[in-house]
C-alpha cells in the first residue's frame, strides 16, 4: 500500500477514535467523568489509539498539515502508555472536550470524502 493510502487509513483511525471520544463525553460534566471509571478508561484508550495512528503518519503528511499538533498527540499517547500511573484527569478531560472537537474538524478537512466512513 502506498504511503498516501496508509496515511489515509491512519487518519481514518484517528477520526474514528476521536468521534468515539466525542460520543463518550457528550452531555457529560467533568464530575461525571471523574466518577465514571469506564468513561475515563474509554477516553484514555482512544487517545492512545489516536496517538499511535498519528505516530505512523508519514513525515510528508505531517509537514503538509502543521495545523495538527502531531508531536503533542504522540506525546500524550506515550504518557498514557508508559506513565499511566500519572494520568491527570483534568488534562484528559480538556483533551476530550477541547482538543478532540478541533482534531475532528482538521482530520475531516484532510481526508478524501470517500474515506470518511464515520
Provide the number of structural domains found in the chain. Answer: 1
CB environment 20-47: b (16+ within 10 A), e (fewer): bbbebbeeeeeeebeeeeebbebbbebb
Instruction: Assess if residue 116 is contained within a domain.
Output: no
Written as nine digits, the cell of 118 is 464515520
State the pLDDT confidence band at 5, using cuts at 50, 70 and 90: confident
Instruction: Give the model's pLDDT for residue 84.
Output: 63
- Rounded CA-CA distance 74/78 in Å is 6
- The pLDDT value recorded for residue 35 is 97
Is residue 41 within 8 A of residue 66, CB to CB? The reply is no
Domain range holding 106? Answer: 3-110
Predicted local distance difference test score (pLDDT) of residue 83 = 73
- Give the pLDDT score at 109: 96
The predicted model gives 29-56 an average pLDDT of: 97
Kindly state whether residue 8 falls inside one of the protein's structural domains. Answer: yes
- Give domain status of residue 66, yes or no: yes
Contact between 67 and 106 under an 8 Å Cβ cutoff? The reply is yes
Amino acid at each position: 500500500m502506498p504511503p498516501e493510502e496508509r496515511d489515509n487509513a491512519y487518519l481514518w483511525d484517528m477520526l474514528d477514535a476521536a468521534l468515539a471520544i466525542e460520543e463518550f463525553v457528550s452531555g457529560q460534566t467533568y464530575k461525571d467523568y471523574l466518577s465514571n471509571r469506564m468513561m475515563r478508561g474509554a477516553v484514555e484508550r482512544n487517545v492512545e489509539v489516536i496517538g499511535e495512528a498519528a505516530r505512523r503518519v508519514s513525515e510528508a503528511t505531517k509537514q503538509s498539515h502543521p495545523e495538527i499538533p502531531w508531536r503533542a498527540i504522540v506525546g500524550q499517547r506515550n504518557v498514557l502508555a508508559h506513565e499511566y500511573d500519572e494520568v491527570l484527569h483534568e488534562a484528559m478531560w480538556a483533551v476530550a472536550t477541547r482538543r478532540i472537537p478541533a482534531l475532528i474538524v482538521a482530520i475531516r478537512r484532510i481526508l478524501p470524502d470517500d474515506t470518511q466512513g464515520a
